[in-house]
A and B are shown apart, each in its own frame.
Chain A
Amino acid sequence: MSAAGATPPMIRMAGVDKFFGPLHVLKGIDLEVPKGQVVVVLGPSGSGKSTLCRTINRLEPIDSGVIEVDGQPVPAEGKALARLRADVGMVFQSFNLFAHKTIIENVMLAPVKVRGVASAEARKHGMELLDRVGIANQAEKYPAQLSGGQQQRAAIARALNMRPKVMLFDEPTSALDPEVVNEVLDVMTSLARDGMTMLVVTHEMGFARRASDRVVFMADGEIVEDAATEEFFTSPKSERARDFLGKILSH
């Protein structure tokens, strides 16, 4: 850990290894995300980006190493783990809104059931968030009645209603039609401007350049490059990052 008195990073991963059976998917990952920083994780498909994201709130347990959130080691199970997860917002590629609940019910559920917030208060803050992401008029509808872009914005509002310390995004726009990608990226950009600590797995280079402070480039389960955003895009050091950028930017 850092010297006594200094504020701990929001996320700290040290020597993290993860296997799926014989497959070594995370290899000695060291990563610190300071408070307020926006980090974009880039890398080819299968390089371990989702797994990295999911180990931070222990949706995937790790085989060795240390993960800390806000200075606290991620608990292995039980109430302590649930408490940590309540502080870590997560947005999935497939939205995962609760299909049997309306949008506002989705947004209110966890604050009421996990934090014990009064229902009226959770609804009020939830409606403010839905308004902020531009879908307050969809509050009483069911997820299946919304477009993908609207569903993903609802999912972001749902995570934010827990007042998380940090937000994890795992390819939040990859399942969206191209014409609605920007409405989600705009919400994320504004969140970044407001100082939210964010770890974002994405292939959206425009968003990465515009909204992130730092880029982590992964390949084959390793962090190959970790650099300030501008530096990464203008002068990537590794061969693999140059290859990757060449392929993705030529589209």
Chain B
Amino acid sequence: MDFLSNYDLLGAFWTTVQLTFWSAIGALVWGIVLAGMRVSPVWLMRAFATAYVNIVRNTPLTLIVVASSLGLYQALGVSLTTDKTTAALAITNFRLAVLAFVLYTGTFVAEAVRSGINTVPVGQAEAARALGLGFFQTLTLIVLPQALRSVVAPLASVLIALTKNTTVASAIGVAEAAVLMKTMLENEGQAGTLVFAVFAIGFVILTLPVGLLLGWLSKKVAVKR
């Protein structure tokens, strides 16, 4: 067990947590925007959101992560930081990874939110429109608040999947947990099972409380009809 203290386990998992946190916030916002577009009265918005969700959701995540690195950064030279020190590359890779996770996970959030919108009785939106609320007000004040309350549980699954998916960021050199695991497996071959167990437990520690918390929240915020 001693060798564990030779590695920055906490640091690696901290990177995983940060990747998950920023990606989750971005994906939630982007997913809600996409879901809003899918029910919008504007044909072009509906068409864009539908095409986007169906294409991106069915593309392997690794492809999206690598594409954001190759395409955006290396080919187009889009740099996501103004930092000029040696940390610049690490910062850029981290942000590119977050961007890729947002673009990808947003589609799953959008699908969950859309199914939530379908659980809101049409009478709710009709009553809002009859009172003079516009489309955007009806969506943000009446429909989405009820839709989101009904999809806390499915969103928790999306969040847990996202936490595990962040390991794909290793493909573009973000030093999250999976990168450290690979290093440790190479160096500590004889303790391979133990290394696996440590990382598996690490991810369970991250995801289990989230699942429990959101499960509890989902009951608490449920709309009574």
Chain A interface residues toward B at CB < 8 A: 57, 59, 79, 82-88, 90, 92, 94, 96-100, 109-110, 113-115, 142, 144-145, 155, 158-159, 162
A87-B133 Cα distance, complex, nearest whole Å: 12
Chain B interface helix/strand/loop/mixed: helix
Q: How many whole Å from B202's CB to the nearest CB in chain A?
A: 37
B124 touches A86 (CB 8 A): no
Stretch at the interface among B134-142, B181-189, B206-214: B134-142
**Among all A-B residue pairs, the 5 with the closest Cβ atoms:** A86-B132, A96-B127, A110-B131, A144-B224, A96-B123
Given A57-B130, A162-B131, A144:B141 Cβ within 8 A: no
B126 touches A99 (CB 8 A): no
B132 touches A98 (CB 8 A): no
- B225 contacts the other chain (CB 8 A): yes
Query: CB within 8 A of B126: which of A96, A115, A142?
Result: A96
Q: How many whole Å from A150's CB to the nearest CB in chain B?
A: 15
- B146 contacts the other chain (CB 8 A): yes
A99 touches B132 (CB 8 A): no
Chain B interface residues toward A at CB < 8 A: 121, 123-124, 126-134, 137, 141-142, 145-146, 149, 223-225
Chain B minimum-CB-distance residue to A110: B131
A114 touches B126 (CB 8 A): no
> For B223, what are the chain A residues with a Cβ–Cβ distance below 8 Å?
99-100
How many A-B pairs fall under 8 Å by CB? Answer: 68
- What are 22 pairs between A and B in contact, CB < 8 Å? A59-B129, A79-B134, A82-B134, A83-B132, A84-B132, A85-B130, A85-B132, A86-B132, A92-B123, A96-B121, A96-B123, A96-B126, A96-B127, A98-B128, A99-B224, A99-B225, A100-B149, A110-B132, A114-B131, A114-B137, A158-B131, A162-B131
Chain B minimum-CB-distance residue to A144: B224
Query: CB within 8 A of A82: which of B126, B133, B225?
Result: B133
> For A88, what are the chain B residues with a Cβ–Cβ distance below 8 Å?
130
B131 touches A59 (CB 8 A): no
Query: CB within 8 A of B137: which of A97, A113, A142?
Result: A113
> For B128, what are the chain A residues with a Cβ–Cβ distance below 8 Å?
98, 110
Given A85-B132, A115-B132, A142-B224, 17 further pairs, Cβ under 8 A: A79-B134, A84-B132, A87-B132, A88-B130, A96-B121, A96-B124, A97-B127, A98-B127, A100-B146, A109-B141, A113-B133, A114-B137, A144-B225, A145-B224, A159-B131, A162-B131, A162-B132
> For B121, what are the chain A residues with a Cβ–Cβ distance below 8 Å?
94, 96
> For A113, what are the chain B residues with a Cβ–Cβ distance below 8 Å?
133, 137, 141
> For A59, what are the chain B residues with a Cβ–Cβ distance below 8 Å?
126, 129-130
Which of B123, B127, B145, B225: most chain A CB closer than 10 A?
B127
Chain B minimum-CB-distance residue to A79: B134
A162-B141 Cα distance, complex, nearest whole Å: 17
A90-B225 Cα distance, complex, nearest whole Å: 20
A114 touches B133 (CB 8 A): yes
Chain A minimum-CB-distance residue to B134: A82
Chain A minimum-CB-distance residue to B148: A100
Given A99-B124, A99-B224, A144-B225, A90:B130 Cβ within 8 A: yes
> For A57, what are the chain B residues with a Cβ–Cβ distance below 8 Å?
130
Q: How many whole Å from B140's CB to the nearest CB in chain A?
A: 10
A94 touches B123 (CB 8 A): yes
A42-B134 Cα distance, complex, nearest whole Å: 32
A92-B124 Cα distance, complex, nearest whole Å: 11
A223-B145 Cα distance, complex, nearest whole Å: 41
Query: CB within 8 A of B131: which of A85, A99, A142, A145?
Result: A85
A92 touches B126 (CB 8 A): yes
Chain A minimum-CB-distance residue to B146: A100
> For A86, what are the chain B residues with a Cβ–Cβ distance below 8 Å?
131-132
B130 touches A98 (CB 8 A): no
Chain B minimum-CB-distance residue to A85: B132
A138-B121 Cα distance, complex, nearest whole Å: 23
> For B137, what are the chain A residues with a Cβ–Cβ distance below 8 Å?
113-114
Q: How many whole Å from B147's CB to the nearest CB in chain A?
A: 10
A104-B225 Cα distance, complex, nearest whole Å: 17
